[in-house]
């Protein structure tokens, strides 16, 4: 049990270090948050909801979804259902497939040891039309009722490197 607790703390520390280093050079981060998945697995009915209040956005944004997993993750890919809610209540739904390993089983993400992280560019160069509260909800879309091996998921909004004012 001590090893699991140590691993959890190490995972949170690692996630924070990655998020801080990712913003030290490159596009300005507007919002970033991550959620730990239960040790028992991510149930397919469980939503992970991220919410931010955007006051003013001068530049277009990129939306990046981060998936952190262990090398015990049993699949090559990962399906994700994404619901976006705009300040006016408009809802958008999308499904994305993320490849976490190549055809030979080599992990594609970054990481040291048994934990890998895969950034997935979901939207690029998006002009935010309104200020207000934005919600993004993630749900795993795999056939497994309880998906094991995913340790964290996160969202980052950052100024687009392709953005023009």
Q: Does 165 map to a domain?
A: no
Sheet with 91-99, strands from edge to edge, namely: 48-54, 132-140, 77-85, 91-99
Q: Does 14 map to a domain?
A: yes
| pLDDT given for residue 16 in this prediction | 46
Structure tokens at 144: 């497994």
Domain of residue 124: give its range: 2-159
pTM of the model: 0.78
pLDDT tens, residue by residue, 110-120:
998 999 999 99
Q: What CATH number should be reported for the domain holding residue 126?
A: 2.60.120
Which distant-in-sequence residues (6+ apart) come within 8 Å of 7 by Cβ?
Answer: none
Q: Does 147 map to a domain?
A: yes
Q: Does 20 map to a domain?
A: yes
- Sign of the alpha-carbon torsion through 53, 59, 60, 62: negative
pLDDT, averaged in runs of 10, over the chain (165 residues)? 54 51 66 95 96 85 95 95 92 95 94 93 88 94 95 94 62
Q: Does 164 map to a domain?
A: no
What is the number of domains present in the chain? 1
């Amino acid at each position: 049990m001590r090893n699991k607790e140590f691993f959890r703390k190490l995972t949170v520390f690692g996630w924070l270090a990655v998020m801080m280093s990712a913003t030290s050079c490159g596009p300005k981060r507007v919002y970033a948050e991550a959620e730990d998945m239960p040790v028992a697995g991510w149930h397919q009915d469980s939503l992970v909801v991220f919410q931010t209040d955007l006051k003013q956005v001068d530049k277009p944004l990129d939306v990046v979804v981060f998936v952190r997993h262990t090398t015990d993750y049993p699949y090559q890919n990962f399906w994700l259902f994404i619901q976006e809610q705009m300040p006016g209540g408009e809802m958008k739904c999308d499904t994305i497939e993320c490849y976490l390993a190549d055809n030979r089983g080599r992990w594609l993400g970054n990481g040291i040891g048994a934990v890998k992280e895969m950034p997935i560019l979901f939207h690029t160069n998006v002009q935010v039309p309104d200020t207000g509260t934005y919600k993004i909800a993630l749900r795993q879309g795999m056939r497994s009722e309880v998906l094991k091996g995913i340790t964290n998921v996160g969202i980052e909004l950052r100024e687009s490197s392709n953005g023009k004012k």
